Amino acid sequence: MENETREQRIKRLEQDGFLDPNCPTCKDEFYPWYKTHDGGSGPFAPSHKPLSSCKSGKRPHCTCDSCF
């Protein structure tokens, strides 16, 4: 979203399920990226939230062909 601070963006992504503050992968890969970058779609890594079309169990950071 436009004019969103880094902290606001992180909070929104948490509320939408794309980041989880208790997830080791999110802590290692995603939070550092979002704390140091403005804009963009995030790091090149599978999101915490799998897609609704996931074909592999809808687990966090899924790497199936649909999610990644």
State CA 41 to chain mean position distance: 9
Q: Is the dihedral of CA 39, 53, 25, 21 positive or negative?
A: positive
Q: What is the pLDDT of residues 9-55, one digit of tens each?
A: 999 999 999 999 999 999 999 999 999 998 788 898 898 999 999 98
What's the pLDDT at 33?
Answer: 95
Alpha-carbon distance of 30 to 41, in angstroms, equals 11
Q: Which pLDDT value is given to residue 14? A: 96
